[in-house]
Amino acid sequence: MTQTTKIGLVGYGFGGRYFHAPLIASAPGVELAGVVTRSSARQAEVAAEHPGTPTYDSLAELAASGAQGVAISTPADTHIPLVHEAIALGLAVVCDKPFALEAGPARDVVQAAEAAGVPLTVYQNRRWDADFLTVKRLLEGGELGEIDRFESRFERFQPEPGPPASGGGLLRDFGAHLFDQALHLFGPAASIYCEADLGETDADGVIDDRFFAAIRHESGVSSHLTGNWVQGAPGPRFRVTGSAGSYLLEKTMEIQEHLLVAGRSPATEGESWGVEPGADWGRIERGGARAVVPTERGRWDTYYPAFAAAIRGEGPVPVDPWEVVATLEVLDAARASARTSRVVPLGPFSRS
């Protein structure tokens, strides 16, 4: 019988409340060991939504309670100091995205985790999106032939203020997922061109609310990535073009986020968790011919069981943190490109 793995949470804002706590609490063999938050309002929310789950004022208190691991879901500019603190306490760590504001501090903390022998991973949960898993299946099956272009968008119409400066801005926020997915599918970047407004923060403290990036992969594939917080007419989530046809998915965002925000979880949905209705499936087009493509089931529910297994020494962490450092180097280059309006080349990735 598998032992219970105790995983705590730091932060109970939108990310901690909806993207982490329900998935930790519903993971088999995992206990939500407690939430670190000093906010009385957040403490009340924890008590209402996860009865019996304790709250703590510090990571040290969480560690002393017997937690074996922790998920950090706080503003991006606090991630690296908190990860260092967790490592020093011997806690295995999941850090939310963006992992860091630049690649350098991320590289340092990954090296620190390795030196301490502490498991460290990053919450790139969008690798387990229903729509992304469908794209992976099509590529692995060769159904589109030789790929030449990958178009991917996170576009929303949310006129309220976008991600604040403490979150790193939209390029880092949405880009953390869009860049990660592109590099995961098509390999290292040879160069990047990016358009984004990276000027001073506006009255709401927002750095940027839209960007476009074109990555040329060493494999020869071009990835066109778009993030937009104020897009009145969001474009297709994916268009993947190849020599044998193109895959088009028009639904803008997949189902798991909506389920979690609605208060549902893998525990409430069972086998129907992450299943997209047929009306939201994409299609392969070959000229005038069209074929509907069933969407894979979303698998965010597999992340924390995999992290718990890594804590127990029974498998690797869900996401290699070095892959995320490599993605941050591409994001750093994207920011340099946006500032200079030039294509920025990228050299081989190094862990040193």
Residues 223-264: pLDDT tens digits? 999 999 889 999 999 999 999 999 999 998 899 999 999 999
Number of C-beta neighbours around residue 210 at 10 A? 18
- State yes or no: pLDDT of 61 exceeds 60: yes
Max CA separation in the chain (angstroms): 63
- pTM equals 0.95
Tell which residue, 17, 79, 4, has the closest CA to residue 49: 17
The pLDDT score that the predictor gives to residue 208 is 78
For domain 127-299+330-345, the CATH superfamily is Dihydrodipicolinate Reductase; domain 2 (3.30.360.10)
CA distance 149 to 151: 6
Q: Is the pLDDT of residue 81 over 90?
A: yes
Angstrom distance (rounded) from CA 238 to CA 282:
9
**Lookup: tokens for 50:** 């996860």
Q: Give, rounded to a whole angstrom, the gap between the first and last alpha carbons of the chain.
A: 41
Starting at the edge strand found earlier in the chain, the sheet holding 344-345 runs 289-293, 282-286, 245-249, 238-242, 147-155, 222-228, 210-217, 189-196, 344-345
Return residue ranges of the chain for CATH 3.30.360.10: 127-299+330-345
What is the three-class DSSP state of 173?
helix
Say if CB 36 and CB 55 are below 8 A apart.
yes
Q: What's the burial of 139, exposed, middle or buried (CB within 10 Å: 0-12/13-18/19+)?
A: middle
Model pLDDT for residues 278-309, shown as the tens digit of each residue: 999 999 999 989 999 999 999 999 999 999 99
pLDDT reported for residue 162? 61
300-324 burial, b for 16+ CB within 10 Å, e for fewer? bbbbbbbbbbbbeeeeebbbebebb
User: Tokens standing for 13?
Assistant: 């804002």
150 strand-pairing partners: 223, 240
Tens of pLDDT along 87-131?
999 999 999 999 999 999 999 999 999 999 999 999 999 999 999
pLDDT of residue 252: 87
Domain with CATH 3.40.50.720 in the chain: 5-125+303-316
Residue 169 has pLDDT above 90, yes or no: no
- The tens digit of pLDDT for each residue in 171-187 reads 999 999 999 999 999 99
Does domain 5-125+303-316 fall under CATH 3.30.390.30? My reply is no
Do you find a cis peptide bond into 321, omega within 30 degrees of 0? Answer: no
Tokens of 127: 């690798």
Q: Which pLDDT does position 163 carry in this prediction?
A: 62
